[in-house]
Amino acid sequence: MESSLGILLVLIISTTIHIGQSQDQKGFISLDCGLPANELSPYTEAHTGLLFSSDENFIQSGENGQIQASSESDFWTPYRTLRYFPNGTRNCYNLRVEKGRNHLIRAFFMYANYDGFDTNPNFDLYLGPNLWDTIDLQGQVNGLRAELLHIPMSNSLQICLVKTGTTIPFISTLEIRPMGSGSYITDSGSLKLLFRNYLRESKNFIRYPDDVYDRVWISSFRNEWTQISTTLQVNNSNIYSPPKAALTTAATPTNSDAPLTIKWNSSNVNNQYYLYTHFAEIQELWTNDTREFNMTWNGEYFFGPLVPPKYWVYTVFSKWGGSCIGGECSFELTRTNRSTLPPLVNALEVYTVIHFPQSETNETDVIAVQNIKAIYGISRISWQGDPCVPQEYMWDGLNCSTTDKSTPPRITNLDMSSSGLTGNITEIIQKLTLLETLDLSNNNLSGEVPEFLGNMKSLVSINISRNNLSGLIPQALQRKGLELYSQGNPRLCLSGSCLPPKPKPFPVAIVASATSVTIIIAVLVLTIVLRKKKPPTIGDQQQPPSISSVNITYANSPVSSIQTNKRSFTYSEVIYMTNNFQRSVGEGGFGIVYHGTLNGYEQVAVKLLSQSSTQGYKQFKAEVDLLMRVHHTNLVNLVGYCNEGDHLALIYEFVPNGNLRQHLSGKGGRSIINWGVRLQIAVDAASGLEYLHIGCIPPMVHRDVKATNILLDERFKARLADFGLSRSFPAGDESHVSTTIAGTPGYLDPEYYHTNRLTEKSDVYSFGIVLLEMITNQPVIDQSREKSHITEWVVFEVNSGDIRSIMDPKFQEDYESDSVWRIFDLAMSCVNPSSKRRPSMSQVVVELKECLASEKSRRNMNRGRMEPHSSAEVTVLVDTEMFPVAR
């Protein structure tokens, strides 16, 4: 078998491949490295249908290159361009991924003498702070690929190219593919691809769209084997979903009495291997024929006996890593004594275990320093990748505490002197809670010195000298043990005596009153004139009658203007994308939501403001301001906005599968989702809330968590929506804000209702109500019940100790009572009248994930009780006492 780093020729030279029905590319990242963003990006790759984009938005350094023109016709489009890095030692891509989910990560390196030096480069490839692979292209005429299955521990994934010698690192493509839940799980570490073969005499390879996860399958066959095949469909339904095209052929030993043997050499005797073998019976057997075989790994029993299911995939995989004695690995299939037919195998995957021992820098510190970098536009080439580790690549101007590899480093020193900083001293700095020294000297910072600096207990030295700071130095910065250097700020003073006297308030009040009266009169006159005019038109298209004319200038309004960096759309573009507001898909307090299409293919939802009150505009602004600075896989994504004259609109990604309430009730033809799917939705929604509470700066409270605000995509992945009532709350000791009561009756936190004190625990209460809805499928408030509110009703009903009394009857007993009790207890802890006794969203997420894992295990075990050859309608799970397991 060939190494994964030596088989790129068949991957990128234009050959025949299997093209099947187009699959969903949701979550795929396909970067054509070195492609200028203004040149046909994104584009659809002709052979696979994959949507490739330029990598310019994912990395801040590097130069665009292109392979020699004489070689272009030999390679597919994505491999003709590349990004190379002549400057800096470490250059890193920063990608957004789903924390805790297994991802296939693949990089291609196609040199093809792009620079004319004809010197094959050698450099290192890092995943975050850990070495992933060494890319040595010496003798590799057709390039290399590196591939890994890895579960990120944060929502940010950093892939770095590190210069180790005199040659220049480069990369051709970078591809990320989210994998199926529960697949390719290891005892520890990640999985580095050794080879992935389907057994057929062919020169073709298989990948997307035949493989929904875009794994690359290479054909492999040996002289001592015989190929069998079928023209019938083979069912590939299990969590690994090997492509059907790889299952329609299989290898059997030509000598029917001999074992089928697969061997490869181990470059390191300490390597640990994971095997995933895929079997399906694809021959019509005679009445007396039997195919049954055992498997051995390096001469020791591995699994069996196995009778492959007819036209249905059966996957046997390693539960723990195995080693190869003497450097040679041998996997054998041997027929049993009662078998009349030789063994067969359709496809095989082999991975080596790779450990990443160095912990990434504390996630809160990373988010903080990245935000500081963005706020001040810092473009130091060293400020890429993990800020603290490896220590030899630590960001310039930083020092970090690093006790051991298993402990996330913390940032202790931040030196941004002489960095051209402008504006105020950002409050993000206080997120670096272990910061000891801060140097902001020799910049152009302005405004007052913030008091929070003095409240950072770990700070012992602050240098703000030679800036344009003004005002009074806060008393907190004059505490004992804190060294403050402030010289070179002429308008900065230590006491109130150096501040100019305040002007007398009486004349100011008179002027302000006179100005206000003048403005009010002007507005009244303008309003009378405008009302006499006809409604505005654009071409021959009038605005829809359901949209009120809205004045959002608000000269005297306390609401600040909207600051965004998302795409701004004109009202004409909104009319065009919605086909003149042809299709309404919903309506709420904000206004009507219309279906639209962007760029001819991207579906969007367009929410229009339909009320002219300041409160309506405040909610519009709150939603825009929040979604400008948050991004999470479980939050609805804002595409852009319209803020043109009287017209306000928010443009979101379209989430096509409705909301949770619709699916629970079955209204509108929606499905009645089972217990396992409900648990997954709960995990998704809780993860989104957790991000708002601890991942945002400042943290956010949603304030309107309910089943109708949990949207579901085509795979039932949940997205939180409707952030018009959201509010930020301060971190630290002051963990609440006082605010006007807002929310949905039934979901509203009673403590918040009585005290006006809003905290993140208010969202926890609302989420607890949603969990009770998922269990019961009952209305939150039902006046026809003896106990009208759902919390009172469930407590009354379960006094008998029987959880079935509140369970949604549509489950039809397809659940485990222990699992439901556990979620019920979690829900009741969330709706505790005292917010102090409620769990945090992080605790809720942990509990939900454990319940979900238990539910998946239960379903797999239920399927495993059936014999593999008893039915073609089930996926079999067999757990032996050895390390292989089959699904």
Catalytic residues: 704
Residue 402: name the closest of 639, 802, 602, 129 by CA.
129
Would you say the C-alpha torsion 665, 666, 670, 671 has a positive or negative sign?
A: positive
Instruction: Give the number of residues written for the chain.
Output: 887
Q: How many other CB atoms are found less than 10 A from the CB of residue 455?
A: 15
CB 122 within 8 A of CB 135: yes
334 to each of 286, 343, 867, how far by Cα in Å?
21, 6, 20
Q: Distance between CA 466 and CA 460 in Å, rounded?
A: 19
Instruction: Name residues whose C-beta falls within 8 Å of residue 505's C-beta, 6 or more positions apart in sequence.
Output: none
Crossing angle of helices 841-864 and 760-776, in 10° steps, is 30
Instruction: Name residues whose C-beta falls within 8 Å of residue 472's C-beta, 6 or more positions apart in sequence.
Output: 448, 493, 494, 495, 496, 499
CB 698 within 8 A of CB 728: yes
Q: How many other CB atoms are found less than 10 A from the CB of residue 153?
A: 15
Q: Is 319 annotated as a binding residue?
A: no
Which backbone phi and psi does 207 adopt, to 5 degrees? Answer: -155, -155
Q: Distance between CA 576 and CA 328 in Å, rounded?
A: 64
Q: Distance between CA 462 and CA 459 in Å, rounded?
A: 7
Assess whether the previous peptide bond of 259 is cis (omega < 30° from 0): no
Q: How many other CB atoms are found less than 10 A from the CB of residue 854?
A: 15
Amino acid of residue 243: P
Using a 10 angstrom Cβ sphere, with 0-12 exposed, 13-18 middle and 19 or more buried, the burial of residue 342 is buried
Exposed e or buried b per residue across 253-281, where buried means at least 16 C-beta atoms within 10 angstroms of its C-beta: beeeeebbebebebeeeebbbbbbbbbbb
Both structure tokens of 683? 């995990």
DSSP 3-state of 683: helix
Q: Distance between CA 674 and CA 810 in Å, rounded?
A: 8
Place of tokens 């700066």: 697
Q: Distance between CA 493 and CA 388 in Å, rounded?
A: 36
570 to each of 22, 27, 50, 558, how far by Cα in Å?
33, 29, 31, 25
CB 79 within 8 A of CB 67: yes
- The stretches of 205-349 forming alpha helices (DSSP H) are 244-247
HSE, side-chain direction, 13 A CA sphere, residue 842: 4
Q: Nearest 5°: CA angle at 43, between 38 and 46?
A: 145
Exposed e or buried b per residue across 186-198, where buried means at least 16 C-beta atoms within 10 angstroms of its C-beta: beebbbbbbbbbb
Which backbone phi and psi does 865 adopt, to 5 degrees? Answer: -75, -10
CB 686 within 8 A of CB 844: yes
Specify the pairing of strand 700-701 against strand 461-463.
unpaired
* Residue list for the binding site for ATP: 607
* Residue list for the binding site: 607
